[in-house]
Each structure stands twice: as structure tokens, then as C-alpha cells.
Amino acid sequence: MKTTASAARIGVTAAVIVLSAFRCPAQEQKEAVSYVPGGIVTGGNLTGEAEARMEQLRPPAPFGADTPPAPDYWSAGAWAALPGRQDDADVAPPNTSYPEAQKTAQVDVFFIHPTGSVSAGPWNAPIDDPEAVRALTLVMKYCASAFNAAGRVYIPRYRQAALYAFFDGKSQSGIRSLDLAYGDVELAFFHYLKYYNQGRPFIIAGHSQGSLHGMRLLQEEILGTPLARRLVAAYLIGYAVPQDVLYFPGSFFLGNSNILISWTSFTAEGVPGFFTDGAVIWLKGSYQKVGGLPLIQVNPLSWKLNGEAVPARQNPGSLPYDGENKTGVPALVAGATGADASGKVLIIAKPAVPGFDLSSGLPVLNCKSGDYHLFDYALFYESIRKNAVERVNEFFKKYKAAGQ
């Protein structure tokens, strides 16, 4: 290694085996080497009442005082989704044009889940935290399942950083908790590569906190390495992913910018300052504030970087939220919203159909104020599903043509 309630849970979530009998080598069990530069704090830009409400979610103990035990990725319980095991990442809308196909899929999907723990608990949640477990069930249904027509879905559980970690302007506890969470993701990825992947092409996908960890994983372990040749695409949705990542030294992305996909969904009235200015990112070997860097904004209806407006009538299907306790997912609804990625963030129209009007109840990530973070995936669910299938097909065509 080089260096290292229910609506809120969709995306604050909202933006799925058989194990070897041999144990993981001791060196794989140790935690990833952390890298937290001195003086960097998170401190997403909140003020006034919003800041006061977020302060109520500050973990009561300092970082390190109540750190939960590390996951054991040899245990099936450390994986929320594994191929060959029935789980919520296997569901598909009844009217999708792209049925679930994991048994015959030729690629894998390594999905990194978003924040599901939004209470004032520890800086890093245990992987069996009830709130986080419930949230991840929704994430598998409404986000990760979008990839099960294209690949076999793997979702590791990890000691996710608390929501407050993104807004800790008073100490380094927030950024240290993010670093610890990344360490788990990195170890899960190593375990996946060694024991599950078997040399197959793969997709990296995530939402929100998961996309931050995916951004670092790409730069630390994939770009500029032989693994990049097996990378089909990276869907790092619902976070501030700067365009500078496209030009990582030696990157396979150089000249292939459409392989890295990201967007953050707002109405024209929304205030995206956290993503455009205040969010902590990983770039050039360290954490830093995004500080106004141009973000990757791909239009999920045209799949063009900074793509111009596409009308709602060209949206093939959104996945409306219809409750937490159902076994499957509802039917897709076509034409719920359009998309315009020509500006700093993705601009949508407020959906005029039910199932996209839920609030996080938090001072951020709240669709009542025009922030549709909860629905980054669901609003464009069928388009993502189609795009993933098409990218896999194109990947194999390209390598067949090259004689590889």
C-alpha cells in the first residue's frame, strides 16, 4: 500500500458466499497507514442556526476514545453484499429494461456506501450499529442495486465516519475519523482483490462519504498502476470530486475523462457551497479543502462532462422512495426530472411525482432547501443502470479489438 428517520438513510446516506477456509495473512489484518496532515480540519461551511443544529450531532468523546473494533473481512458479516448470497443489492424494479444478471456478469462492482450514522454517537460507527445497518439496507436497494445488471456487487461494511466529521471545524477529530474509515475501505479492497476478484475487470462506485473514500482509493491504489487497465469506470456520485483527479500523473484517465463519473444534484434555488467550497477531498497525496476547484459534473442523461440541459422527457426512469420495510423496490417512473451539468453542480427541476419529496431533517442534504443529495442515484436510476451495462460492453469490445 502507498499510504495508507428513514428518508435520511437513502442518501445521507441519499449519495448490496462462499469464503475461503484459509485465514488472511497477518500483514493484511493490520490497519492502513494513516495520513492526516497537520492543521487540516473539515469544518464544512455552515453558519447560524444550521451550524448550531449540526453542533448537536458532535460526538461527545474525543476521537480515539471509543473507536470500535476493526472489521474482519474474512467474515461474511463484514460484507453487506456478496455475489452468491441473497441481499438487498440484488433487487431490481419490475419495469427495468436491464434485469439483474450477477450470475452471468463478467465484471465486479466494488461499492462504497455513504454515511448512515447521523446521530451524536462515536466518531466512527461500529459496523453493526443499528442505525447504520438500517441505512445500508436502503442504500443497497436505491443506489447499489443500479449496478446489478452490469456486474457482481460487493459492498464492504466499514467503520464509517459520523456525519459531524465533515463539519468539525474545531479539531482534527473529524478528519482523523475519515482517515480511519478509509483504512477499512482500503483493507476491504485488498481482500476483495486477493480472494474474490480473480483478475476480472471491475467498477468502483460509491455515494457521498463512500465517494470520498473512492476518490482516495483511485489515487492511492489504482491510477498509474496495472489495476487501471481493469477499471471499467468509477461512479463517485454525490461528493466533491475535482476535475484535477482526471489528470493524475500517469493516469489511465488522461484522455479518457468519461471513465470518472460524478455529480451533485441541486435545484436552481439550492445552495451547493459545501460541495463547491467547504468539502474535504483527497488530492495529490493528502486531504485538503476543495476550495472552489472545478468539480466533475457529468450529466447522467447524456453522460457528457458538463453536459448541457437534457429535458425530463428523456429520463428513462427514476426510482421513487416508497417506504423502508418493503422487500423489493417500486416501479420506475419516467420523466421525473431533467438534468443540466453545464454549471458548478448538476441542476435538476423539482420532481413533480411522489417519492422524491422527503427531507433529511438535517441542516444539510435536505431537498426542502433544493439539495437532492438523498436522490443522486434514484433520480437517474435507469439511466445509470443502462450506462453501466453499456460501459461493460464497450470495455470488452475495446480489449477484444486490441487482442487482449
State what percent of residues in the chain have pLDDT above 70: 84
How is residue 6 written as a grid cell?
428513514
What mean pLDDT do residues 63-86 have? 96
State what percent of residues in the chain have pLDDT above 90: 70
**pLDDT tens string 80-109:** 999 999 999 999 999 999 999 999 999 999
CB-CB contact of 264 with 295 (8 Å) = yes
Confidence of residue 8 (pLDDT cuts 50, 70, 90): very low
Residue 22 has pLDDT above 90, yes or no: no
Residue 249 has pLDDT above 60, yes or no: no
What's the number of domains the chain is made of?
1
CB-CB contact of 40 with 172 (8 Å) = yes
Question: Within a domain: residue 173?
Answer: yes
Residues 84 and 79: their CA atoms lie apart, in Å, by 12
Looking at per-residue confidence, does 273 or 256 come out higher? 273
Question: Within a domain: residue 23?
Answer: no
Question: Within a domain: residue 99?
Answer: yes
Question: Within a domain: residue 25?
Answer: no
Residues 257 and 368: their CA atoms lie apart, in Å, by 33
- In 241-326, the DSSP E strands lie at 260-261, 265-266, 280-283, 286-289
**pLDDT value for 255:** 41
Alpha carbon dihedral 179, 124, 66, 172, in 10-degree steps, equals: 40
CB-side neighbour CA atoms (13 Å) of 79: 27
Question: Within a domain: residue 397?
Answer: yes
What mean pLDDT do residues 269-283 have? 93
Question: Within a domain: residue 263?
Answer: yes
Beta-ladder partners of 289: 280
Domain that holds residue 395: 8-17+31-401
Residue 2 has pLDDT above 60, yes or no: no
Looking at per-residue confidence, does 358 or 239 come out higher? 239
**pLDDT value for 117:** 83
**pLDDT value for 323:** 81
CB-CB contact of 233 with 391 (8 Å) = yes
Residues 17 and 13: their CA atoms lie apart, in Å, by 26
Output helix, strand, coil percentages for the chain, rounded to the nearest 5. Answer: 35, 15, 55
Question: Within a domain: residue 66?
Answer: yes
Residue 133 has pLDDT above 60, yes or no: yes
* pTM beyond 0.85: yes
Phi–psi pair at 55, nearest 5 degrees: -60, -25
Residues 139 and 331: their CA atoms lie apart, in Å, by 17
Question: Within a domain: residue 2?
Answer: no
**pLDDT tens string 137-195:** 999 999 999 999 999 999 999 999 999 999 988 889 999 999 999 999 999 999 999 99
DSSP 124: B
